[in-house]
Structure 1
């Protein structure tokens, strides 16, 4: 079936209207009309070829909220009219140890998990097209229930990437009441990390290079704010934190943050810089048995758990909605960090364009 979207046709041209085919729903497939799609920094990096390996034309988008329009004959988990979500994955091998453990994001089958866009399309050939489009068809095993109020659906979309990217490490490292948790950076990922860690009962401190973000951090649920460019303020944090979630996607010195960990504390990186971080001091790890780790989104079961947690705690992303036609302006603003904290595309704008 033909659908419409916006695609990058090269690394240096604006996204433009693009028509392409989606598969007809198979026995285990769910067909979804997309209502909202969040705009992730990964979309920008991929569309503009900054990470390499982009397959053009590229239709980005992996923070999808929509409505079910049809289901395959063997679908038991979803029904027509239901509100659902689709995140960063639309398939995996299903057989490797990670998939068997419900950690599909670490799939070790051939090629790893299949991304919602820029992945191998095993049904139609070529590559997958993402959520900057009117419609998508996904196997029921990679579709999520969305039970938030209708009025919050646009703000739910970023949970499908920013939400699970921060929830998964907080959950895996058992963050909870009484713990001191640091969040480095207050952007699309960082603001979700603050909200979720606070809802888990932790006392949250935000590390930021911008002193003017203090009030915003406190409003999100942080108890303290430290300006990371202030060497004296950073030195005063030594040995304070049980866990630090580092969301910054730019190369920076990790040592001041590692030194802020208690003995046996862990710092987890979820941002991917264009250039590698300077190597941290080994002594800072060895002499306090500290750990430096990484984390990648989350499995489907954990993503559903995250959505339910956010529903129960009244958590959504702080967003600015935009029409599909404004995507390149949004990308330019993202580069300048000129958004609090996530753009979300209202796909009605795309339908209106097609109907005009």
Structure 2
């Protein structure tokens, strides 16, 4: 990548960074991306996929595989505190996971494809909405338009603080944990605080459930039996001194390496909640949000990325351990050979979702180069 190209892509990344849109609201980001893809001479640009998703098709007209490169459009509902000159201009929202950088690298692929078309098959650039909530991947893949672009191979990346800047981490098999947010609502009956015995408080049930639920999954080794339950929120009654509480709510994040282990953990957690609620004579409602299936890398796709990382002269670390956090990229591995690699943001870089996180611009050539090498290996 020439210094001029890097400067241009960096300026684009800063522009995207200044205008973050959270999951489900990516209207202007999608419009900006679609316009750039038109400028980069895509044969076809599709919009409105699975919400505000975008796809660009570069078709050689010659029989061959369809290669997908996927990135994310959405930002986070977190106030940015980087102090950067190009910091978010939207109060309470920021690109604090690096999706602005991911988009920029895929747009760098588009710029290269405009100059040199695939020799066979097709390249499809996938810009997915709502990754942060886990809703975007399933919605994108379920959209009727996806049948027109369904890839045979699909690649993605995520930047990774804690890994040396510009280095690559890659694993076979499980790549990201399954996770889901479990919301438990307990209902009893309020009473005057002077007569709590005439009501039915969820306090005792919550006191039992908080340690019991977290006890179902202690984390430990990232093997097939890995399970982690994290209490993230608890609320009891109203903020007043005059009312004995009649309602309670617990939010717990469930996390496992596999979908099968997740099903077991869900069954165990629900059985526990219902048993305690029955003991305490409470009504109970259990719902789920932010549901992510496990993400699994295909061996063939991993080998292509490993070769691409070598071509890009990126230090490569192979591992058998998945990341603990979740990704809805696993949706694209249904029907395709899919793999995600991790691109180092720096060993001392602020963590993802921190208010002082910012994507490191100097890794743009590495990610773009790896994607382009993978594309070349499959479609010339």
Does TM, normalized by the shorter one, top 0.5? no
Question: Which structure is higher in RCO with an 8 Å CA cutoff and minimum separation 6?
Answer: 2
TM-score of the pair, normalised by structure 2: 0.27
Q: Which has the higher helix share?
A: 2
TM-score of the pair, normalised by structure 1: 0.28
